[in-house]
Amino acid sequence: MPKKYRAEDLTRFAREALVKAGMCQDRAAVISEILVEGDLLGHYTHGTKLLPNYVKEIQAGRMPVDGDPDIVSDKGSAVLIDGRYLPGPWLVNHALEICFSRMAEQATVTVVIRKSHHIACLGSYLKRITDRGLIGIILSSDPNHASVAPFGSYEPRYSPNPIAAGIPTSGDPVLIDMSVSSTANGVVAKHLEEGKMLAHPWLLNNKGEATNDPKQFFTTPPGSILPLGGQDLGYKGFGLGILIEALTAALGGFGRADNPTQWGGAVYIQVINPEAFAGLGALTRETTYFADSCRNAKPLPNGKGVFIPGYFELRNWERQLEQGVLLDDVIVKGIEGLVSLLGIKAPAELSR
């Protein structure tokens, strides 16, 4: 049965679970905050739901808890990090701190991470950037995973390759977080768990036929996800997928050609300081005008109008921070499993 929890209780629980699994307090604190931020924003497939898998990865030795990443190259405004499969949320936060510390001297700072472990919800990092009056871009691919078919085929060849961007305005920031595939792996898995069909035929079965049945994704051989744009305009999503593969895995020097054998990520992070260009005031003047102009555009007949990317996530964040985070049965079972496995106290349940 779905249950509701205070965000701070979920964060405490996630931190204690990671520490019990062997992680130090400081890194566990960062990771737990990022996971719960995903839940607050409404990205439940990439929030606390990931915690049991993270614990399993730690216990199996595939997510090291000790040591530091290697700095392969540092040119001031461009840094390449070998993450050694350390926890992805901690690595991304570490990369952002590098970017923030150099904004006074650099107009932009780009950090590429190779051999990161899974980095959770990309949107969870964006307010950390926009709250500083900066623009941020985060891209990710998984060189070990293939679930998306290139346009014109039905055989999976690359990962959903999400792209996230945060843009300041004088009000709500614009928060973009999307895959360049028609849907995400986690969404397909969630529909399968719930016994539901997808809203549209975003998948191809292993014969190349379009389907909205999530079971067709998990066959042997597997089905695949269509690139963003689907059967008509999927060449656009395919092109974006290629770009993200180039900026993450290829730029980092470790990708599919290396035949990696474990769950992981290749990550591209760029932070841009508006003050090095026309200035933050000029930026937000234009971004605010543009956002307002789009919001004020006449809605479609019987439509609800225009919502700027991030609007619903920020309203979720505000509501759930005040009223509690509602998690579904699958996530609750994962929490209960960790309570039993690790012998830690469950987060207190709130009344519905």
Q: Which among 256, 249, 228, 243 has a CA at the least distance from the CA of 151?
A: 228
Query: Which residues partner with 82 through β-bridges?
Result: 70, 114
Q: What is the CATH classification number for the domain harbouring 245?
A: 3.30.1370.60
Does 306 map to a domain?
Answer: no
Does 313 map to a domain?
Answer: no
Same domain, 216 and 264: no
Separation between Cα atoms, residue 91 and residue 95, nearest integer Å: 6
Same domain, 130 and 16: no
Does 85 map to a domain?
Answer: yes
Does 302 map to a domain?
Answer: no
Give the gyration radius of the chain's Cα atoms. Answer: 20
At 351 the pLDDT is: 83
Tokens describing residue 129: 């950037």
Separation between Cα atoms, residue 193 and residue 54, nearest integer Å: 20
Tokens describing residue 46: 């990439």
Tokens describing residue 72: 């392969």
Q: Are 110 and 252 spatial neighbours (Cβ–Cβ below 8 Å)?
A: no
Same domain, 44 and 73: no
Residues 139, 142, 143, 146, Cα dihedral to 10°: -120
Q: What is the CATH classification number for the domain harbouring 54?
A: 1.10.1530.10
Same domain, 37 and 120: no
Does 173 map to a domain?
Answer: yes
- Burial state string for 155-165 with b = 16 or more CB within 10 A and e = fewer than 16: ebebbbbbbbb
Tokens describing residue 143: 């060189």
Q: Which among 195, 193, 197, 219 has a CA at the least distance from the CA of 208?
A: 219
Does 49 map to a domain?
Answer: yes
Which domain does 60 fall in, by range?
Answer: 1-66+327-352
Query: Which residues partner with 3 through β-bridges?
Result: 327
Does 307 map to a domain?
Answer: no
Same domain, 129 and 235: yes
For the segment 8-30, the average pLDDT, to the nearest whole number, is 98
Percent over 70 (pLDDT), the chain:
100
Q: pLDDT by residue (tens digit) across 124-144?
A: 999 999 999 999 999 999 999
Same domain, 98 and 208: no
For the segment 167-195, the average pLDDT, to the nearest whole number, is 95
At 190, which amino acid appears? Answer: K
* Banded pLDDT at 1 (limits 50, 70, 90): confident
Cα torsion angle, 242, 247, 249, 254, sign:
positive
Q: pLDDT by residue (tens digit) across 226-236?
A: 999 999 999 99
Q: Which among 130, 131, 139, 132 has a CA at the least distance from the CA of 166?
A: 130
Separation between Cα atoms, residue 8 and residue 235, nearest integer Å: 43
DSSP class of residue 33 equals H
For the segment 232-250, the average pLDDT, to the nearest whole number, is 98
Is it the case that residue 352 has pLDDT exceeding 90?
no
Write down which residue in 275, 296, 317 finishes a domain.
296
Q: What does residue 55 show for φ and ψ, rounded to 5 degrees? A: -65, -45
Same domain, 51 and 61: yes
Long-range CB pairs of 206-212 (<8 Å, 24+ gap) are 206/154, 207/154, 208/153, 208/154
Same domain, 4 and 146: no
Same domain, 105 and 157: yes
Omega into 221 within 30° of 0, i.e. cis?
Answer: yes
* Banded pLDDT at 8 (limits 50, 70, 90): very high
Does 309 map to a domain?
Answer: no
Same domain, 262 and 219: no
H or E stretch at 245: helix 230-245
Q: pLDDT by residue (tens digit) across 29-39?
A: 999 999 999 99
pTM: 0.96
Cα 135–15–309 angle (5° rounding)?
A: 30
Overall number of domains in the chain: 3
E strands, 239-309, in order: 265-272
Same domain, 93 and 169: yes
Phi-psi region of 227 (alpha: psi -120 to 50; beta: other; left: phi over 0): beta
Q: What is the CATH classification number for the domain harbouring 201?
A: 3.30.60.50
Same domain, 13 and 59: yes
Q: Are strands 174-179 and 210-211 parallel, antiparallel or unpaired?
A: unpaired
